[in-house]
Chain A
Amino acid sequence: MPVWNEREECLGLEERVQQQWERLQSSLNRAHKNVPFYRNHFREEKIDPAQMETLSDWERIPFTFPRHFGENYPYGLFAVPLRDVVRIHTARGIELKPIVSGYTKQDIGIWREIMARALTAAGVSRADILQIDLDPGLANWGRHYKDGAESIEAGVIPLTLLPHEKQLMVLRDYKTSVLITSTSAALQLKDLLFRANLNPNSLSLKTLILVGEPTGAAVQRRIEEELHVRTWVHYGLSEVPGPGLAFQCEERQGLHVSEDHFFPEVVDPETGRSVPEESEGELVLTTLTTRAFPLIRFRTGDRVRIFSKPCPCGRTLRRMEWLPHRTDEMMIIRGVKVHHRQVLLLLSRFLGFSPHPHRFLVRRREFIDTLEVWLKVDEQVFSDEIKEMEKLCQRLEAELAQELGVPVKIRLKEEDSFSNVGSNGAIEDLRP
């Protein structure tokens, strides 16, 4: 399989170490110089960027957590004047305030490069027609994939919010050869195809790029056998800065991290200390080239292992194994991250009161992963007209689905349905 940018992807080890160190220093200097949040954050911990001489100095730098995005809404973490920003993305935060990230013209170019290399590693070329089918919660990723695919001159069917039947029609009639979708959506694709009376053999589809969820080899094999395709896993961040920052090559032994643009670390989620090479821990990312929205030691909540042994594909970018289960209470539904606190806040806003008790479940309903919200029927929700209660449910479903970007089902339940709800209110995963 070809390599998109051989010079950068196959850089010698010594040069890589030097390049990363140079970029860590300049990234840190830029963040310190231009973003008050980072300057104060470092000052509190008595960190002087000029004193960073080794990786153990680096580990003294405080982490950035998802909550910091909300606290600095909307533009507080931008490192360039607003007039330099050419694209503004919004993603859901863990609470009500969204995460706003910006991109300069150079940032957009860098993302185009990152996506092009990830797609090239999956064998995508100008001969392909690439369709992007992601849930609305991952709309930002759709734009990056579109840009990257266009830069390798593939034909792109951009992300358009269509019902499943229409997506299938496009898949068949437009002769899509590459589909970018979440792993859970890919798992449901066979059933949806069969229901629509479509034989996978009748499609031009040959490549499936799976995003948004950790996907093991067994699941990849299952999808490949069911749909007669080859699958490739891409890792990205839905908050910021984007998708495909780690990608599978033809060896399928982990995902290569684009280390010329991101510095990955693995830490113990409890202590925050670095774990030994190849040990499991939480992925921490620092952007190395980003201009508008630099991230310094961002705790991703994703559980990974990173290993440096050389890959037969020739790339020297270190690889990571993306492990199931996150280190936090975030739930991934069709590739979209959802936090129970956010669901509760949204419900309270729509209802005008905080519903208690409640229960949040993820279930597969008619082949589609869905967030199911159970609310107790009490005097605040109860109406003697069934129609009114149905209307309330429909309104809540529509509003929650719009805000969260995943399918939602509201169910009104009697009190005894809530007897064994966990104390922290986290989303329960009941998917097979």
Chain B
Amino acid sequence: MLRIRNLRCHYGRIRAINGVSLSVRPGELIALIGANGAGKSTLLQSICGLHGQWEGEILFQKEPLKGLKPPAIVGMGVSLVPEGRMLFPPMSVLDNLRLGAYVRYRRRENREIARDLDSVFELFPVLRERAQQPAGTLSGGEQQMLAMGRALMARPRMLLLDEPSMGLAPFIVRLILDILLQLKEQGMTILLVEQNARAALQIADRGYVIENGRIVLDGPAGELLVDQDVKRAYLGKDYREFCEGRT
């Protein structure tokens, strides 16, 4: 569904992504894990057209995304849940959700939009309760749900999530991940970028490990979860556990 080949991104003279190839098959949940500054968010922004300075090839459903503006990419079925939620705090929860369907209102899909709003409320009942409340007054977990709901309102074929667990309590993280699993079961294709490698790999089908803008490891998520290198770098294992004994 998504195919990236030899992606390179620059911020001026700084190269953030240095020859990355990655793919997501229909219905897959893929985790992209890596440390701060490894290039994870830049990769998502490049897919969505938010970061224009890239070389290489990004194909979504065999169509090149090069040169397309973000609304066109959303229109093709790619929705981003950005890092830090990026909600419109003074606007109500309902209006934030409606904004997610912006490109569809222009296509006069009002009836379908109303139906989708219902399904978002079913997925996140708390958002129905808070529908008229300004988004800025929601808790962190609720804001994250709103950001996901807003992305779903564009009726995407593929959902990109940038650090959805950031700053959330563990039980909220679990809730968010359960919802991602539900979406996957409904057939949604998901690319999940996370620093919380364990949480991401626990629900993913496959994973990629990115370091300094390069993919250094990929494989089934179960294999990466037990990989010693991944454990050392991203799963917060006690360093002594690895250093004692053999060298």
| Residues of B197-226 contacting chain A, CB below 8 A | 208, 211, 213-219, 223, 226
Contacts A83-B245, A104-B228 hold; do A29 and B214 have CB atoms under 8 A apart? yes
* Contact, CB under 8 Å: A81 / B242: yes
Q: Which of A131-170 contact B (CB under 8 A)?
A: none
The chain B residues found within 8 Å of chain A, CB to CB, are 3, 5-6, 8, 18-23, 25, 56, 208, 211, 213-219, 223, 226-229, 242, 245-247
**Residues 64 to 108 of chain A near chain B (Cβ within 8 Å):** 80-84, 104-106
Residue contact B5 to A83, C-beta cutoff 8 Å: no
Q: Which residue of B lies closest to A82 (CB)?
A: B246
* A52 located at the interface, meaning its Cβ lies under 8 Å from any Cβ of chain B in the complex: yes
Taking A25-B215, A29-B215, A83-B242 as contacts, is the C-beta distance between A15 and B227 under 8 angstroms? no
Interface size class of A (residues with CB under 8 A): 20 to 34
Residues of A within 8 Å of B6, CB to CB, are 53
Shortest Cβ distance from B242 into A: residue: A83
For the complex, give the distance between the alpha carbons of A265 and B25 in Å: 27
Is chain B's interface secondary structure helix, strand, loop, or mixed overall?
A: strand
Q: How far is the CB of B247 from chain A (nearest CB, A)?
A: 6
Q: Are A30 and B216 in contact (CB under 8 A)?
A: yes
Q: List 23 A-B contacts (CB under 8 A).
A: A15-B23, A15-B25, A22-B215, A22-B218, A25-B20, A25-B21, A25-B215, A26-B208, A26-B214, A26-B216, A30-B216, A30-B217, A33-B211, A49-B19, A50-B213, A50-B214, A81-B228, A81-B246, A82-B247, A83-B247, A106-B219, A106-B226, A291-B227
Q: A105–B230 Cα gap in the complex (Å)?
A: 13
- Expressed in whole angstroms, the Cα–Cα distance for A105 and B215 within the complex equals 21
Interface residue A339 (Cβ < 8 Å from any Cβ of B): no
Q: With A and B bound together, what is the CA distance between A30 and B23 in angstroms?
A: 19
A contact set with B: CB distance below 8 Å: 15, 18-19, 21-23, 25-26, 29-30, 33, 49-53, 80-84, 104-106, 109, 289, 291
Interface of A is mostly: helix
Q: Contact check, B223 vs A109: say whether CB atoms are below 8 A apart.
A: yes
Contact of B216 among A29, A51, A53 (CB under 8 A): A29
One of B25, B217, B226, B247 near A26 (C-beta < 8 A): B217
| Bound CA–CA A52/B214 (angstroms) | 12
Chain B nearest CB from A348 CB (Å) reads 35
Separation of A49 and B6 alpha carbons in the complex (Å): 11
**A residues in contact with B18, CB < 8 Å:** 50
User: Chain A residue with minimal CB distance to B57?
Assistant: A53
Per the bound structure, the CA–CA distance linking A109 and B222 in Å amounts to 12
Knowing A22-B21, A23-B218 are in contact, say whether A80-B247 is a contact too (CB < 8 A).
no
Report A-chain residues with C-beta under 8 Å of the C-beta of B214: 25-26, 29, 49-50
Contact check, B19 vs A51: say whether CB atoms are below 8 A apart: yes
Closest to A12 in B: B25
